[in-house]
Structure 1
Amino acid sequence: MHSFKNYINGEWVDAVSGETFDVLNPADGKIIARCAKGGRDDAKMAVQAAKNAFYNDKNGWRRLGVQTRCDMLYRLADALEKEKDSFARAETMDNGKPLREAIGDVEDAVSYIRYYAGASRMPGGASYEVNDGFGPMQCFTVKEPIGVCALITPWNYPLLMGVQKIAPALAAGNTIVFKPSSETPVTSVKFFELIDKIGFPKGTANLVMGGGSTVGEELSSSPDVDMVSFTGSTPVGQGIYKNAAANVKKIGLELGGKSPNIIFADADIDGAVEWAMVGVFFNQGEVCSAGSRILIEESIKDEFTSKLAARANAMTIGNGLDNPDMGPLISKSHMEKVLDYIETAKKEGCRLVCGGRRYTENGCGNGYFITPTVFDNCPPDCRIVREEVFGLVVTIQTFKTEEEAVKMANDTEFGLAGAVFTSDGAKALRVVKEIRAGIMWVNCYNPAFIEAPWGGYRKSGIGRELGADGLDEYAETKQININLSPGELGWYEKR
C-alpha cells in the first residue's frame, strides 16, 4: 500500500489536520493507497503559494519565456510517456476501467500536453483599424494569463481530465491548485511527482487532496482564486457557481448530461447497435456524454432491441487488469445508487430487457460490478429517462416522425451531446441543427478529439475545453491603445 501527501509550494506535505483517507480498488474492495486528507487550511496554503508564485515571484512561471515554458511541458509529456504502463496500471486499480482503456487515456494525456505546449507559441490577440477622431491611434489586443486557477476533477477519467485542465492552464502562464476526486487520486499524485522531478518553479502547480465540501468549497469561494474550472455533476457545479459569484471569478463548468441517441429506420442497424454499445457502456457507462437515451423509429425497435440485448449479454465483466469488456463501477455507494435507479425503473413501468443486477460471478463478489442494463417502454417522466444515472443503464423510447424525434431529444434540462443514425445526409443535418447540445455525432457515438472544443448547453455547463477554445478559457484579453502622435490632443483640439 502506498502513502501519498499533498504537494504545496514545491514540497510534499501531510495534511494540516494529520488526517488521511483510504483509496480502494473497486474490483475487490481492497485498500491500494492512503492519502493526506486536506481541508480548508491546506487549500488556503496552496492558494497562497500559487498567488505568490504568480504575482510576486520575479522568476515565476508566467515570467519565464514562452520557449522555456513550452520546453518544460514537452519534458513533462515525455516523462509521462515513459511511465505509460505504470500509470495505466495504477489508473485501472484506482478507477476499475479495463487496462487497454487506461493505456489509451495515458496516451491521450501525453498528446494533450504536447498539443498545448505547441499551442502556447501560436499567435494570440489581434489588431484593429479604428477611427481617427482621436488622432492617429493603434488598437490591438493581447492574451494574458488569468492568475490562480483552481482545477477540480471527477473520478471517471482521473488522469486524462486532470491533464485536460492542467496542460492549457499552465500553457497559458497561470499557476494552479489542483483537487482530484477523493475516489481516484493515485495517478494525480504520480503526475505531480513528474512535475516535481522536472522542476517547475515552486508554487506553480499545487495538489490538495480532500473533500469537495472542504477543499472544493474553499477553492471555489476564495477571493485569491482568479478562476475555477470544474468537471462533475450538475448539482455540485451549481454550488461552485454560487461560491464563485461572490467575487465574480471566471468559471468553467463541464457538467452532467442525458444525451439522446436518435436512430432512424433507414440507418445501418448493426452499425447503430455497435455504436450504441460504445455510446452507453464504454467506461462502465461512467461518461458525462453517454448516449443513455436511445430514441428509435418505431418500425425497427424490436429488431434493434433484440440485437442490443444480445450484445449486452455477451459482454465480459471482470477485473480491469484482465482486460474484460467492462470493469467495476467506481465505488460501493455508486453501485448501490445505480441499482436503486434500476429498481425504481421497474416500479415506474419500464420493461427490463436485460441486465439489471449486481454481478458476483468469476471472482467478482467483492467488487462493485453491475450487468449492462437495457430498459424498454420507458415513460417519458420516469427517473431513468430524466436523470443522469452515470452507469450501465440505457432507456429505449420510440418515435414515428422526425419532428417527434427532435422534440423527444430536446425534452431534457441538459444539453451536452447527442447522435443521429441515418443513411439520409440531409435528414442528419436537419436533426443535428435542431438538437440543443454542444457535441453531436452522425452515424457514430463518443469519438472526441483534442483539436475540437468540448462542452454543453443549459445545465450541461459553461465554457469549452480542448482545442484552441480550451486554451482561451485560461486567458484574459487585454485591449491596448497607443497614440501615434503623443504631442497632439486629437479630438480635444477640434471641440
Structure 2
Amino acid sequence: MPQAHSYYCDGEWVDSDSGETFAVRNPANPDDVVAEFPKVTVEETERAIEAAVDAQEAWASTPGPERGAVLRRAAALLDERSEAVTETLTREEGKALPEARGEVGRAVDILYYYAEKARDLGGDVKASSSAETTLRTSVEPLGTVGLITPWNYPIAIPTWKLAPALAAGNTVVLKPASMAPTVARELTDCLAEAGLPDGVLNVLTGSGSVVGSTITEHEDVDAVSFTGSSSVGSQVGETAAATGKRVQLEMGGKNPTAVMPSADPAEAARIVADGAFGVTGQACTATSRAIVHTDVYDEFVDALVEEAESKELGPGLDGYGMGPQVSADERESTLDYVEVGESEGATLETGGGVPAEPRHETGHYVEPTVFSDVDSEMRIAQEEIFGPVVGVIPVGSFEEAVDVANDTEFGLAASVVTDSLGEAERFGDRVDAGVIKVNEKTTGLELHVPFGGMKASSSETYREQGDAGLDFYTTTKTRYINY
C-alpha cells in the first residue's frame, strides 16, 4: 500500500476536509504508486496563509543567527537521510540515482549556505553629510511569501526558495508540484525537527487552480516566487502583480550551445550531450540547440549521434544513466515535437522513438534524439520541448552564431565551445541570456552566484541564489538619526 500523506499547516500534518487525494506514480513503472497526497481546498489554503501571517512577527524578531541555526540543523538532518531521500526522489521523479543524489546534496549545501547568510542581514552604516547625524540601513523581511515550485528539481528548487526566505525572517506557504511532492515532505520534516516554529512553514498539495491561485490572489501574501512553464508563470505574474505583490518568475528556456571552428568536435559533442540528455532533458537550462560552424559541422553531428546512442535508458533505481520522462503526457509532448521536426524538414539523425527493451515496457521513456539540418525558424528551434531532443543548426560565422542564439523569445542559459578568448568574451557580451558559460554545458549552477533569465525566461525582477537570492525576500529601511 502506498503511504498516505497529509498537508502541513501551523506545525501539524493535517488531513484534508475534501477527502480527495491524488497518486504520485513512479515514471519508470506507473503501476508503482509512491504515495498519495490530499487535494487541499481553498479554505484550507486560506487557513495556512493565516497561520503564516500569525507566526510572522515572532519569526522576524528572532535573531538572524538563531534562524540560521534552524537551517543548519535541518541541513544536518537532511544530510543524514540523504540516501533514503535520493531513492525517493528517483522513484517519484524518475531521474538517475547520481542525478538525484546530486540534487539532494545541493539542497543540503543551500541550507548550510543560507544558515550562515542569516548572520549578515543587519544592514549597513553610511557616512552622513551632517556631523550630527548617523546614517544607516536596516534589512527586514517582506512578511508572508508564497512559493510555487516545479517537479523537475523537486527538492533543490523548493530549498533555494525556502532557505533565503526563512533566513530573512519571512513565513512561507509552499505549493510543491503534484508529480513529485514527497521529497518536499522530507524537507519539511527536517525543518520541523530542527526547531522551525509552528506556522513559519506551511506546505499544501493539490491543484494549481485551487492552491496556487489562492496563494497568488490572497491579500495577506506579500510576495510570490514561481518556477515553471512560461504560460503558467505569465498568469501567476499578472495575478500577483494586480494585487500589489512582489513577483519573481523563472520560466522556460531554449538554450543554445555555439560550437566554433577551434573546438574539438568530439569534446563539443560531449558537452552538448550532457546538457541535452542529462536529467532526461527535463531542465529549464537544458541544451536544446547546438549552433555549429560549418567547418566542424559534419564531425560534430557524427560525434553527437554517437553520444546519444551511448546513453543507457532504464529505471534510475536499477543504476541506469538516463531515466524516463516524468509522465505519459510529457513523453507524448516530446514525441509530438519529433513529428513536428520531421514535418518541418529537419533530418532525424537518431532516436525520436520509444525504446523497445523489456525494461522500457512500463515507463515513460524517449530515446535521446538528434536532429540535424535545423533552421532557426522551425518550431523545434523556437519552442521549449522539455525532453531529450537537440537540434543542430549550421552557421557560417561567429556573428551568425550569436544572431541565431538570440533568435528566440527565451534567454536563460547559453554556452560557447571555443579556444578563442575573444570569441568567448564577445559571446558573453552579446548573447541575451542570464547565464553564460564557456566550454561547459548549459546545465548546472553554482549556489553562491545569481541565477535567472532574460526575456520570456524570467520576470527580470529579482535573481535567485547567492546574495541576490536574499534581495527578493527583504526590504530596506534607511534611518537618519540626528543626535
Structure 1 length as normaliser, TM-score?
Answer: 0.94
Q: Secondary structure at the match of 2:359?
A: coil
Match of 1:168 in 2: 164
- Which range moved further: 281-290 or 373-382? 373-382
1:121 aligned partner: 119
Alpha-carbon distance, 1:195 to partner? 2.3
* Separation of aligned partners in 2, 1:20 and 1:41: 16
Say whether 1:53 aligns with 2:52.
no
Write the letter of the residue equivalent to 1:311: E
Q: How many angstroms apart in 1 are the aligned matches of 2:136 and 2:408?
A: 42
2:452 is the alignment partner of 1:455: yes
**Match status 1:44 vs 2:46:** yes
Picking from 218, 224, 227, the partner of 1:228 is 224
The one of 98, 104, 114 equivalent to 2:96 is: 98
Note if 1:396 corresponds to 2:392.
yes
Q: Secondary structure at the match of 1:199?
A: coil
Residue 372 of structure 2 aligns with which residue? 376
Q: Deviations over 1:274-331 (max 9, x none)?
A: 1111111110000101111110001211110011101101110000112212000000
SS in 1 for 2:360: coil
| Mapping for residues 142-291 of structure 1, pairs under 5 Å | 142-291=138-287
Task: Name the residue aligned to 1:308.
Answer: 304
Correspondence for 1:413 among 409, 434, 441: 409
Given that 1:360 and 1:369 are in contact with CA atoms closer than 8 Å, whether structure 2 keeps it comes out as no
- Say if 2:342 is the partner of 1:346: yes
Q: Give unpaired runs (5+ residues) of structure 2.
A: none
Q: Does 1:63 align with 2:65?
A: no
Please report how far the alpha carbon of residue 139 of structure 1 lies from its aligned counterpart in structure 2 after TM superposition.
Answer: 2.4
| 1:240-262, Cα deviation, whole Å (9 max, x unpaired) | 01111122111111111111110
RMSD: 1.2
Which is worse superposed, 1-10 or 474-483? 474-483
Overall identity of the aligned pairs, in %:
38
Shift of 1:273: 1.1
Alpha-carbon separation, structure 2, partners of 1:122 and 1:200: 20
1:130 shift after superposition: 4.0
Distance (Å, rounded) in 2 between the aligned partners of 1:27 and 1:171: 37
2:64–2:121 contact (8 Å) kept in structure 1: no
Q: Which residue identity does 2:299 align to in structure 1?
A: E
Deviations 1:373-429 (A, max 9, x none): 001111222211110001101011011111111111111111101001110111110
What is the match of residue 8 of structure 1? 9
After superposition, give the CA deviation of every residue in 1:20-57 in whole Å (9 maximum; x if it has no partner): 101110001021111111132221111111011114xx
Structure 1 residue identity aligned to 2:20: E
Aligned to 1:28: 29
Moved more, 415-424 or 14-23: 14-23
Aligned equivalents of 1:244 and 1:139: distance in 2?
34
CA distance in 1 between counterparts of 2:438 and 2:375 reads 26
Name the aligned partner's letter for residue 16 of structure 1.
Answer: D
In structure 1, the residue matched to 2:465 is 466
Aligned AA (1:52): D
The counterpart of 1:365, out of the listed 354, 357, 361, is: 361
Partner of 1:489: none
Aligned-partner SS, 1:280: helix
Task: Report the CA distance between 1:480 and its aligned residue.
Answer: 1.3
**How far 1:123 moved relative to its partner?**
5.3
Q: How far is the alpha carbon of 1:217 from its aligned partner?
A: 0.9
**Relative to structure 2, which stretch is displaced further, 167-176 or 474-483?**
474-483
Deviation of the 1:478 alpha carbon: 1.2
Aligned with residue 80 of structure 1, among 69, 72, 78: 78
**Which is worse superposed, 374-383 or 300-309?**
374-383
Q: Which amino acid aligns with 2:194?
A: I
Structure 1, residues 67-100: CA drift from partner, whole Å, max 9, x if none? 2212111110010000001100000000000111
Alpha-carbon distance in 1 for matches of 2:415, 2:359: 37
What is the number of equivalent residue pairs in this alignment? 478
Aligned to 1:480: 479
* Distance in 2 of aligned mates of 1:123 and 1:169: 12
- Unaligned runs of at least 5 residues, structure 1: 485-495
Whether contact under 8 Å (1:140, 1:479) holds in the other structure is: yes
Matches within 5 A, 1:314-333: 314-333=310-329
Q: Under a length normalisation based on structure 2, what TM-score does the superposition of the two structures give? A: 0.97
Mapped partners of 2:313, 2:123: distance in 1: 50
Following superposition, the deviation at residue 65 of structure 1 comes to: 2.1
1-side partners of 2:348 and 2:388: how far apart?
A: 13
Counterpart position of 1:488: none
Which letter maps to 1:474? Y
Q: Return the alpha-carbon distance in structure 2 between the equivalents of residues 221 and 268 of structure 1.
A: 52
Q: Does the aligned pair in 1 maintain the 2:74–2:193 contact within 8 Å?
A: no
Rounded to whole Å, the distance in 2 between the matches of 1:16 and 1:278 is 45
Give the Cα separation in 2 of the matches to 1:418 and 1:88.
29
User: What secondary structure is seen at the aligned counterpart in 2 of 1:120?
Assistant: helix
- Residue-by-residue CA offset, 1:422-444 (whole Å, 9 max, x unaligned): 10111110121100110010011
Asked if the contact 1:228/1:252 (under 8 Å) is kept, the reply is: yes
Tell me the SS of whatever aligns to 2:446.
Answer: coil
The C-alpha deviation readout for 1:174-214, integer Å capped at 9, x for no partner, is: 10001100000111112212223233111000000011111
- Aligned partners of 2:222 and 2:245 also within 8 Å: yes
For 2:287 and 2:353, the matched residues in 1 are separated by: 20
